[in-house]
Amino acid sequence: MKDAAPTTAPETFYLKDYKPFGFEVEAVELTFKLAPNSTRVLSKIRFSPKKNAADPRFFLHGEALKLISAKIDGAPVTPDLVEGGLSCETPDTPFTWEAEVEIDPAANTALEGLYMSSGMYCTQCEAEGFRKITYYPDRPDVMSTFSVRIEGNETVLLSNGNPTGAGEGWAEWHDPWPKPAYLFALVAGDLVNHPDRFTTRSGKDVELNIWVRPGDEGKCAFGMEALKKSMKWDEDVYGREYDLDIFNIVAVDDFNMGAMENKGLNIFNSSCVLASPETSTDANFERIEAIIAHEYFHNWTGNRITCRDWFQLCLKEGLTVFRDAQFTADMRSEPVKRIEDVIALRARQFPEDNGPLAHPPRPEQFQEINNFYTATVYEKGAEVIGMLKRVVGDDNYAAALDLYFQRHDGQACTIEDWLKVFEDATGRDLSQFKLWYSQAGTPRVQVSEDYADGAYTLTFEQSTPPTPGQPDKAPRVIPLAVGLLSPNGDEVRATDVLELTEAKQSFTFDGLAAKPVPSILREFSAPVILKRETSNAERAFLLAHDTDPFNRWEAGNALATETRVTMVVEGAAPDAAYLDALETLVRDDTLDPAFRALVLSPPSQSEIAQTLHDRGVTPDPQKIYDAAETFAQTLAQQLETSLPRLYAATTVDGPYQPDAHGAGLRALNGRILSLLTRLDGGEQAARQYQAADNMTQQYAALAALMKAENGETQSQAFFDQWQGDRLVMDKWFALQVACAAPETAAAVASKLTDHALFDMKNPNRFRAVMGALAGNHAGFHHASGAGYQLLAENLIALDSLNPQTTARMCAAFQTWKRYDSARQALIRVELERILATEDLSRDTHEMVSRILQG
């Protein structure tokens, strides 16, 4: 085996090294002469040297470009071509730079820069992809207006801003809003559109389009409605209007991420915009609505106000995730959205924050910025804003945001700018709060209580375990929403926000006739791990009586976790009281079906593994799997007599509508069907599969059957019906791996990689198989090591084609230190094998090194 150390250490970039670019960019003109293997890009850029620049060097980023010619003020120049770009002698007065380069979009499998997907040209420039299109100061603090001319034979030629002219084989666009290059976009293809219009509150008429490949035009209506709702919501809630004459969305099949907020021309992974009842599940509809909103909201939080440098990424992403969550809460159910977000936070961010990849929401160093589009930057970044809002109050939050938009419109900003706005709007010192942006790790809050003479005291102690590079942590500001219930279930104290600022702090509540039951961390008011000695009886009490829906669900979740832990550790039977509580809840028709579905959804096996690890027990994935199976089987038996009635009562009649109420009922119905299938072997599921006229029910039935190892016929039928639909085929690929038993998961996944429709170059398809393998906890961690080996082999194969997607998927190994030494040894072999790969990308190299070191 080769030495694992790279020949040259990749460069590390530091926040502290920030220096502004030495030139203003006054205007950018680009001409694209499109050809699949030899696109010519002509740039004409007006630069003006800044006086007293900290860094006066003229350096333009450039990667994988063939320079044809370069001129300054019309005279040919010979720039110095170096690794990652070029430098050149320049006049000390304003000048015009012109360059012509050639690029090869058809060979671009990394899907960054200008590439081709299903015959169309498209771009992805965030974070540093524009440098693969032409030489440019590719950094977010360099903002300029862009004028674009596209020459090509495609029927549709799109770029940012407003259209300024078009003819046979060409189109021109002008974007009047200065923007960083990462927001540049171009699309060219034989596309069709789903058009609409929106009138802004000041009366501006905006043309809206969703552009898709012919055949997909019937899957645009839902996305269009979501867009119009988002535009209205941002006006109503944040006072933000759209600022161009046209807003275009394009669906592309090959895309590394979900979607991208390019100014006036959002580009979407087709999985995140195309929807129809026959091909999309309720979860797909909800995600599409949220992501359309997210990218639209970036127009103000990201585009009009952007980031000074990529260390500030959470300035736009955390805020925009926070905004899209508010939107979803308003469109659907606030508590359900909160519970879903906390489940996702614990599934994705907590493992990151408690493992080798832990980093603060604003990292201070990186090798490859693409590796920092993380759950911490996004989800914890959003949680930090939620805490800020809680700490200053809703009115102050609104005032601070008004000031933010007023003060910083048109600027590239920092977290300091963001917090200063809150300080100025509220008069509050936020220096301690700022620690949330610089400290990694999930704080633990240990709770103890005391009751005497009508006075009830809660004492909190906070501490954060060490994370890579940060051995010691200072106490943070932690807003804890707390309510008190009397022993008979009445709320005796409504929610109060207690603010922790010290390592240890007590709060006393007087005048209580009896010792209350506390409901702590209501609405999950801070992203912390609460630790408190309590009983299952008290958890069951909160599950039945808490007035805060989040904490009601949380009590059920804690019970589920406890019973799973005792099953694994002590070989105990499922907790009878918890089973009774679940039964009562499921049958309570006064409760929101979506909420009941969430209470019925078990904690993930990976989460149980983390809980065991936190308690000093080495998790055995097979035992965790067995406990989950036993629990579900016992619950099914307990509910046996009521399941058919519940199934019937939660079946939605009439034509499918993707609304929140119907989705909630179908979610509950799906949970019930999966339990029912454990008893009837799949009779009801087969009937449902047969009758289903929408993907939610078809998929739920197929999943239940496959889990019962009784879905061969339906799986084949599903394939026959949907083989022509890429997005539905992704579901088919993923489901087989997700439903596979632990001992067969790797083999099933391996076989699927040989399938004629498996395509390494399509990130959705690759993720369908390999993501599902990593998500099948007991399968991925099977003692044979087959899961580890298969994932590593595929990551190695993908790395030379698509480093970004490869590097992201390395995170499947981040939890390796939780497991026993045999598994750790197996994983180490695979990680070292990846690291020893010749010409390994910088992306994957950084991820694997950090996972190994942490």
Binding site residues, ligand BES, CB under 6 A:
126-127, 257-261, 290-291, 294-295, 298, 317, 321, 373, 378
Is the separation of the CB atoms in 814 and 352 below 8 Å? yes
What distance in Å separates the CA atoms of residue 637 and residue 265, rounded to the nearest whole number? 53
Angle at 600 between CA 599 and CA 605, to 5 degrees: 100
**Residue 46, C-beta contacts closer than 8 angstroms, at least 6 positions apart:** 25, 26, 27, 28, 94, 95, 96, 97
Q: How far is the CB of 511 from ligand BES (least distance, A)?
A: 46
Structure token digits, residue 96: 């015009």
Nearer to ligand BES, 231 or 290 (CB): 290
Nearer to Zn ion, 379 or 607 (CB): 379
Nearer to Zn ion, 317 or 523 (CB): 317
**Burial class, 347, CB count within 10 angstroms (exposed 0-12 / middle 13-18 / buried 19+):** middle
Pick the catalytic residue: 295, 352, 383, 830?
A: 295
Which partner in ligand BES, Zn ion, none is near 20 (CB below 5 to 8 A by kind)? none
Q: How far is the CB of 373 from ligand BES (least distance, A)?
A: 4
Structure token digits, residue 236: 């109503």
What distance in Å separates the CA atoms of residue 474 and residue 462, rounded to the nearest whole number? 10
Nearer to ligand BES, 186 or 259 (CB): 259
Structure token digits, residue 110: 């990394």
Nearer to ligand BES, 357 or 609 (CB): 357
Which partner in ligand BES, Zn ion, none is near 291 (CB below 5 to 8 A by kind)? ligand BES
Nearer to ligand BES, 306 or 601 (CB): 306
Q: How far is the CB of 83 from ligand BES (least distance, A)?
A: 23
Is the separation of the CB atoms in 45 and 29 below 8 Å? yes
Is the separation of the CB atoms in 728 and 722 below 8 Å? yes
Closest CA relative to residue 462, chosen from 529, 398, 525: 529
Nearer to Zn ion, 134 or 320 (CB): 320
Which partner in ligand BES, Zn ion, none is near 29 (CB below 5 to 8 A by kind)? none
DSSP state of 467: B
Which partner in Zn ion, ligand BES, none is near 135 (CB below 5 to 8 A by kind)? none
Q: How far is the CB of 373 from Zn ion (least distance, A)?
A: 9
Closest CA relative to residue 279, chosen from 676, 699, 652: 699
Is the separation of the CB atoms in 454 and 512 below 8 Å? yes
At 335, which helix (H) or strand (E)?
helix 334-344
What distance in Å separates the CA atoms of residue 279 and residue 729, rounded to the nearest whole number? 10
Which partner in Zn ion, ligand BES, none is near 257 (CB below 5 to 8 A by kind)? ligand BES
Q: How far is the CB of 261 from ligand BES (least distance, A)?
A: 5
b/e 646-677 (16+ beta carbons within 10 angstroms → b): bbeebebeeebebebebbbbbbbbbbbbbbbb
Q: How far is the CB of 109 from ligand BES (least distance, A)?
A: 16
Closest CA relative to residue 3, chosen from 828, 838, 806, 793: 838
- Is residue 298 classed as helix, strand or coil in its secondary structure? coil
Nearer to Zn ion, 377 or 609 (CB): 377
Which partner in Zn ion, ligand BES, none is near 738 (CB below 5 to 8 A by kind)? none
Is the separation of the CB atoms in 41 and 30 below 8 Å? yes
Nearer to ligand BES, 322 or 460 (CB): 322
Q: How far is the CB of 376 from ligand BES (least distance, A)?
A: 13
Structure token digits, residue 104: 């090869």
Number of helices followed by number of strands (H, E) in the chain: 30, 31
Residue 830 has phi, psi (to 5 degrees) of -70, -40
Structure token digits, residue 694: 């929408």
Nearer to Zn ion, 117 or 320 (CB): 320
Three-state DSSP string of 578-597 = HHHHHHHHHHCCCCCHHHHH
Which partner in Zn ion, ligand BES, none is near 390 (CB below 5 to 8 A by kind)? none
Which partner in ligand BES, Zn ion, none is near 127 (CB below 5 to 8 A by kind)? ligand BES
Q: How far is the CB of 842 from Zn ion (least distance, A)?
A: 23
Supply the DSSP string of 756-773, one letter for each residue.
TT--TT-HHHHIIIIIHH
Per-residue interface string for the shown chain with Zn ion, residues 308-337, x marking contact by CB under 5 A: ---------x--x-----------------
What distance in Å separates the CA atoms of residue 235 and residue 635, rounded to the nearest whole number? 47
Measured N-to-C along each axis, helices 415-426 and 381-392 cross at an angle, to the nearest 10 degrees, of 10
Which partner in Zn ion, ligand BES, none is near 259 (CB below 5 to 8 A by kind)? ligand BES
- Is residue 179 classed as helix, strand or coil in its secondary structure? strand
Q: How far is the CB of 252 from ligand BES (least distance, A)?
A: 12
Nearer to ligand BES, 244 or 752 (CB): 244
Q: How far is the CB of 187 from ligand BES (least distance, A)?
A: 15
Structure token digits, residue 613: 């690890």
What distance in Å separates the CA atoms of residue 139 and residue 481, rounded to the nearest whole number? 40
Is the separation of the CB atoms in 259 and 227 below 8 Å? no
Active site includes 709?
Answer: no
What distance in Å separates the CA atoms of residue 592 and residue 600, rounded to the nearest whole number? 12
Which partner in ligand BES, Zn ion, none is near 578 (CB below 5 to 8 A by kind)? none
Residue 694 has phi, psi (to 5 degrees) of -145, 155
Identity (one letter) of the amino acid at 145? Answer: T
What distance in Å separates the CA atoms of residue 105 and residue 336, rounded to the nearest whole number? 43
Q: How far is the CB of 517 from Zn ion (least distance, A)?
A: 40
Is the separation of the CB atoms in 617 and 609 below 8 Å? no
Which partner in Zn ion, ligand BES, none is near 373 (CB below 5 to 8 A by kind)? ligand BES
Give the binding site for Zn ion (CB under 5 A).
317, 320
Catalytic residues, by residue number, are 295
